[in-house]
């Protein structure tokens, strides 16, 4: 059964569409449902009429973010779609940016292979050495990689249908699984991508505001990057971490 499944997936297109998903368009900002069942509502409010119900991995068109009623989780951000509004934390912002497959892999520090980033909403995985051992994938209905994940690619093959596939490894902390996946889903990470930014600047710092859940990067006194974050850490009223995984507040040179 595993071999039959692998053969079927090798012939399948990159895009998986269903009644819950839109057709992926190159460059169009979309949102992928990343938290189970999601209600699309007529207004950005949990008491508003439900216009549609969608589920994990459904992809919707992301028109804009709006401020609505908080469902009690803190944030008031909602995403407007053509069918209504979805609470923003239920969606991962994604794009469909397919890549031209390589015919051969580069050498990295004497090792044949490359790091690559997923640039499509998701890509299905074909297990090469069943059964799947990785806990997060073992019980998944569709073992997949998702937009912005970075993996190690160490081999290339062409399927019987003429589609180029990359062999995917976790490389570090692996459970031993080896997968094949559509090469179009992966953008090779270049040396320029990981080169130091502004190497001539000596005074750099990153400030994480756990109250506002934001991150700022500074070169000297100039803010050069700002984004929202989800630190995941919990703190008591005095600002002390309440579990062993929390990073203590304060400076960390």
Average pLDDT over residues 178-193: 95
CATH code of the domain made up of 30-93: 2.30.30
pLDDT at residue number 237 = 67
Whether the ω angle into residue 131 lies within 30 degrees of 0, i.e. cis, is yes
In this prediction, residue 138 has a pLDDT band, given cuts at 50, 70 and 90, of confident
Name the residue with higher pLDDT: 81 or 241. 81
pLDDT digits (tens, 9 = 90+) for 53-81: 999 999 999 999 999 998 887 789 999 99
Residues spanned by CATH 2.30.30 within the chain?
Answer: 30-93
Average pLDDT over residues 126-152: 91
pLDDT at residue number 158 = 95
- Provide the percentage of residues in the chain whose pLDDT is more than 90: 66
Name the residue with higher pLDDT: 115 or 74. 115
Per the confidence metrics, is the pTM higher than 0.85? Answer: no
């Amino acid at each position: 059964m595993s071999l039959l499944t692998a053969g079927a997936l090798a012939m399948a297109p990159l895009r998986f569409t269903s009644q819950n998903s839109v057709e992926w368009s190159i460059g169009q900002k979309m949102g992928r449902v990343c938290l189970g069942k999601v209600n699309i509502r007529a207004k950005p409010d949990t008491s508003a009429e439900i216009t549609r119900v969608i589920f994990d991995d459904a992809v919707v068109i992301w028109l804009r973010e709006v401020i609505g009623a908080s469902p009690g989780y803190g944030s008031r951000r909602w995403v407007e779609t053509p069918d209504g509004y979805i609470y923003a934390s239920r969606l991962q912002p994604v794009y469909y940016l397919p890549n031209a497959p390589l015919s051969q892999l580069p050498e990295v520090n004497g090792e044949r292979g490359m790091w690559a980033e997923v640039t499509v909403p998701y890509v299905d995985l074909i297990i090469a050495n069943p059964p799947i051992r990785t806990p997060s994938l073992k019980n998944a209905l569709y073992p997949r990689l998702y937009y912005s994940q970075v993996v190690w690619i160490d081999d290339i093959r062409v399927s019987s249908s003429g589609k180029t596939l990359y062999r995917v490894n976790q490389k570090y902390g692996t459970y031993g699984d080896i997968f094949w996946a559509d090469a179009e889903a992966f953008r090779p990470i270049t040396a320029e991508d990981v080169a130091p930014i502004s190497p001539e600047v000596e005074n750099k710092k990153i400030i994480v505001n756990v109250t506002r859940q934001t991150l700022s990067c500074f070169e000297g006194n100039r803010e050069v990057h700002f984004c929202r974050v989800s630190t995941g850490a919990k703190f008591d009223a005095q600002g002390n971490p309440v579990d062993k995984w929390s990073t203590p507040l304060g400076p960390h040179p």
